[in-house]
Copies of this chain bind each other. A is one copy, B any other.
Amino acid sequence: MPEQPSSRRIPLTRKAILDAAVARADSHGIDAVSMRSVAQALGVVPMALYNHISSKQALLSGMVDVIVTEIPPLDPDQPWQPAIRQRVLAAREVMMRHPWAVEVIKSRTEATPAVLQYINELIGAFLGGGFTPELAHQVMHALGSRMWGFALDVFPTPATPDDPSQRAALFEVMRTAYPHIATIAVAGAHPKVAMLGLGCDNQTEFEFGLDILLDGFEARLQAAAVESPQQAPEK
């Protein structure tokens, strides 16, 4: 019995489909999420999904919506910088729970409601912190993917062989062909990482980049306040 129709008592619903897709991605990886496989997991024929979700792309966007909803809200009692920092790091935790999410978010081209709401709230924090709309626009773009808690890590790791002697040979090749890469590879901030542990987008490095951006935003905010103090900062 390859499927159990007894579980199909409850009618198919958009939410049930998205939850099944997220569950499947969590357990089997995003490549295991196809219209056919999700339908099978629900005990239903592939075309049944199309009554609730218009396309594979819509399914992926809906999956993002589901997990973006997991991001905890902004703390309204904090100044903009710690509030945003905290929320971005919270978003990062959600992304770490769903390792497929980064790849899917990178491929999205249209925003869904939960995504728009998250963005809207971040902008609200900037505006509430004294940013002009123009500056808020700029900093949101500068923040980019870091608003979701990840940095595009285009620093690809060559597959590191398990065999130590092969690994040493590879490192020797790297050191002669790309000496600077070899230099910083061994000088990573995290000594536990193997010598070719590039491609590491770990917590320290994420926060390093995030804080440079947030500090830069603060500096631009101050500069703007100085050159056009139409509204005094004290109230």
Give the distance to chain B from A24, nearest Cβ to Cβ, in Å: 21
Contact A141 B178 (CB under 8 A): no
Tell me whether A159 and B119 are in contact (CB under 8 A): no
Contact of A120 among B103, B179, B201, B209 (CB under 8 A): B179
Interface residues of A in 154-189 (CB under 8 A from B): 154-159, 177-181, 183-189
Main secondary structure of the interface of A (DSSP, over half): helix
Say whether A137 contacts B189, CB under 8 Å.
yes
Per-residue CB contact flags for chain A residues 76-120 toward chain B (1 = under 8 Å, else 0) read: 000000000000000000000000000101111111010111011
Residues in B neighbouring A29, C-beta threshold 8 A: none
Given the interface pairs A110-B156, A115-B156, the reply to whether A186 lies near B144 with Cβ below 8 Å is: no
- Given A141-B151, A141-B205, A123 and B217 touching (CB < 8 A)? no
CA distance in complex: A158, B108 (Å): 11
Chain B nearest CB from A162 CB (Å) reads: 17
Other-chain residue from B105, B185, B186, B215 in contact with A154 (beta carbon distance below 8 A): B105
A140 to B151, CA, bound (A): 11
Q: Which of A113, A201, A208 has the most CB of B within 10 A?
A: A208
| Chain B neighbourhood of A137, CB < 8 A | 184-185, 187-189
14 A-B pairs, CB-CB below 8 angstroms? A103-B107, A105-B154, A111-B155, A111-B156, A116-B177, A123-B181, A127-B183, A133-B186, A137-B189, A140-B155, A140-B184, A145-B152, A209-B213, A212-B216
Chain A: residues with CB nearer than 8 A to chain B? Answer: 103, 105-111, 113, 115-117, 119-121, 123-124, 127, 132-134, 136-138, 140-142, 144-145, 147-148, 151-159, 177-181, 183-189, 200-201, 205, 208-209, 212-213, 215-217, 220
